[in-house]
Structure 1
Amino acid sequence: MTVQDSPTDIDAFAAEWEAWHLRKDSALAHEHGFLAVTGLHWPATDPQRFPDAPGTWSTGDDGITVVLGEGEELVVDGTAVRGRHAFGVIPERGGVNAVWGDAVIEIAKRGGHHLIRPRHPEHPLRTAFTGTPTYAPDPRWVVTGTYTPFAEPRPTTVGAAVEGLQHVYDAPGRIRFRIDGRELGLTAFNGRAPGSLMVLFTDATSGVTTYAANRALQIAAPGPDGAVVLDFNRATNLPCAYTDFATCPLPPAENRLPVAVEAGEKIPHERKPIAQ
């Protein structure tokens, strides 16, 4: 544990967590965030038009190309483009945003395939969003562990929220920790900041109180002795928990924890069945 049990410490812990979660949900509900996505389109070699984007789109060895019709315009890197525009080769997990009025058209590559994902601020999923339900923050879910790097990063293939799609990540090492006296482990991927880590996992709450497919946890860079802190209060949903228009990775098979991690984000309101 990293938090003492005094009321002052617990109040400060909860307040810091509340501020973090508000920032997380605010980013999700940004006018061009994932809740604004209106479609997930897979262009082919034959040009095709999509209902929520301008122009006709196609893909090939040179990447994605759009041909805009009369009166249609996109703004790419601050420059207005009309007619035919080639977006060039996009690296895996890379992307380009093209502005169309108040919308943004994301052109990206996931699992070796090009995709087009329009984002419209007026999308009902975004405008009706009221926040993500969570477990109450609890210091007992702040767990210390030990990170052991692999001799070489291990390319790890995992499934995706989209059937038939796969992602490949380099796993730099594994984290060992204990919950309720049980020795557990998680294979780690690289995190957002240099040296930081990220784990994808499921547990005994998955599909019951938390989203069935996955949750993610960001972990600060290990200390010199490999020490890490896993704050499961900050276990978050990936975009696929809210929308079918996401290509999120699934956890490696070895990251299915046999315990109930009753911390972090729960199943979004948007995924709960409507009462009959």
Structure 2
Amino acid sequence: MAAEVIDVAAYVQEWQDWHHRHERVLADPHGFLAVTNLHWLTSEPQRLPDAPGEWSTGGEGVVVTLGDAEELVVDGTPVRGRYVFGHIPERGSINTTWGEAVIEVAKRGGHDIVRPRHPDHPLRVAFAGTPVFPPDPRWSVVGRYLPFDEPRPTEVGAAVEGLRHVYDAPGRVEFELDGRTLSLTVFNGHEPGSLIALFTDATSGVTTYAANRVLQLGVPDADNQVTVDFNRATNLPCAYTDLATCPLPPAENRLPVAIEAGEKIPYERG
């Protein structure tokens, strides 16, 4: 079979368009670069410096008690006084608005949290993009998705010390890179049927962020083939801010090769 001929110029242009879209999402006025704090809720009501009201969690779930002159907008409806958000599922979140800010109420690693997002946060305002390796088609290969008989609950660490995440891993993806067979345990992506992989490699902590990078793999085709394009390896929010609870890769996803593709250590960590 003849080798596939790649139009390198078209490939690079498509990658550039994709990365520009990715960075626009990252720099959104209410994206992760706008997060000003990570508040861990307890049964004791606490007033936050960057969100209205007193916040707590307990038998009713997350509760906020707003002062006389304070207001939140929840699902388009202004609320005052005492408001019960209820029990939020793991990895779930509710975004409310307070003036120009978004107040995120979420659960991560079994803990209820509040993460205010203010568009004027200096980290977001000063964002100047993320350094990357030049895109190169050699880092894009076809892998084979190997589903497990049953999804495997997989516990991983987190960017926040002591926090743990548990994900159901539906399978792994096996691929060849420079004549070497490698594989990645994968988790479910945001789109139905899609897959993602968290990984580190020999560049981690040298030219790329030490804790993790993530690769969106898309949906395997009818033959369980899926594109593994490391040029699209991106940083998670924890690469930019300590106010994120990002998961770490499972131990088997520490690749023993240098993946010199995708996003590098952000300028903010330089």
The answer to whether TM tops 0.5 is yes
Which residue in the other structure is 2:52 paired with? 54
Which residue in the other structure is 1:200 paired with? 198
Residue 117 (structure 1) aligned with residue 115 (structure 2) = yes
Q: How does 1:30-49 map to 2 (within 5 A)?
A: 30-49=28-47
Q: How does 1:209-228 map to 2 (within 5 A)?
A: 209-228=207-226
Distance, in Å, in 1 between the alignment partners of 2:123 and 2:4 is 37
- SS of 1:87's equivalent in the other structure is strand
Give the aligned residue type for 2:208: T
Distance, in Å, in 2 between the alignment partners of 1:3 and 1:76 is 52
Work out which of the residue numbers 81, 92, 99 in structure 2 matches 1:83: 81
Which residue in the other structure is 1:4 paired with? 5
Which residue in the other structure is 1:99 paired with? 97
Q: Shift in Å at residue 43 of structure 1?
A: 1.0
Which residue in the other structure is 2:70 paired with? 72
Q: Shift in Å at residue 169 of structure 1?
A: 0.4
Deviation digits for residues 18-61 of structure 1, max 9, x if unmatched? 11101111101100000000000001101011111111100013
Which residue in the other structure is 2:261 paired with? 263
Which residue in the other structure is 2:11 paired with? 13
- SS of 1:125's equivalent in the other structure is helix
Distance, in Å, in 2 between the alignment partners of 1:205 and 1:3 is 29
Distance, in Å, in 1 between the alignment partners of 2:159 and 2:57 is 22
Give the aligned residue type for 2:231: N
Distance, in Å, in 1 between the alignment partners of 2:5 and 2:30 is 40
Distance, in Å, in 2 between the alignment partners of 1:3 and 1:125 is 43
Identity across matched positions, percent: 69
Distance, in Å, in 1 between the alignment partners of 2:27 and 2:190 is 20
Deviation digits for residues 173-226 of structure 1, max 9, x if unmatched? 011111111111110101121111100000000000000000000112112222
Work out whether residues 3 and 139 of structure 1, in 8 Å CA contact, stay in contact via their aligned partners in 2: no
Which contiguous aligned blocks of 4+ residues in structure 1 show a shift greater than 4 angstroms?
A: none
Work out whether residues 144 and 227 of structure 1, in 8 Å CA contact, stay in contact via their aligned partners in 2: yes
Q: Shift in Å at residue 3 of structure 1?
A: 6.6
Residue 229 (structure 1) aligned with residue 230 (structure 2) = no
Work out whether residues 156 and 170 of structure 1, in 8 Å CA contact, stay in contact via their aligned partners in 2: yes
Give the aligned residue type for 1:105: I
Q: How does 1:136-151 map to 2 (within 5 A)?
A: 136-151=134-149
Give the aligned residue type for 1:254: E
Q: Shift in Å at residue 118 of structure 1?
A: 0.1
User: TM-score, normalising length from structure 1?
Assistant: 0.95
Q: Shift in Å at residue 238 of structure 1?
A: 0.3
Which residue in the other structure is 2:166 paired with? 168
Give the aligned residue type for 2:132: T
Aligned length, in residue pairs: 269
- SS of 2:25's equivalent in the other structure is helix
- SS of 1:162's equivalent in the other structure is coil
Residues 224 and 122 of structure 1, relative CA distance in 2, 3 Å threshold:
same
Unaligned runs of 5+ in 1: none
Give the aligned residue type for 1:68: L
Distance, in Å, in 1 between the alignment partners of 2:102 and 2:59 is 24
User: TM-score, normalising length from structure 2?
Assistant: 0.97
- Compute the RMSD of aligned alpha carbons: 1.2
Distance, in Å, in 1 between the alignment partners of 2:122 and 2:208 is 23
Work out which of the residue numbers 148, 154, 157 in structure 1 matches 2:155: 157
Q: Shift in Å at residue 62 of structure 1?
A: 2.0
- SS of 1:26's equivalent in the other structure is helix
Work out whether residues 3 and 13 of structure 1, in 8 Å CA contact, stay in contact via their aligned partners in 2: no
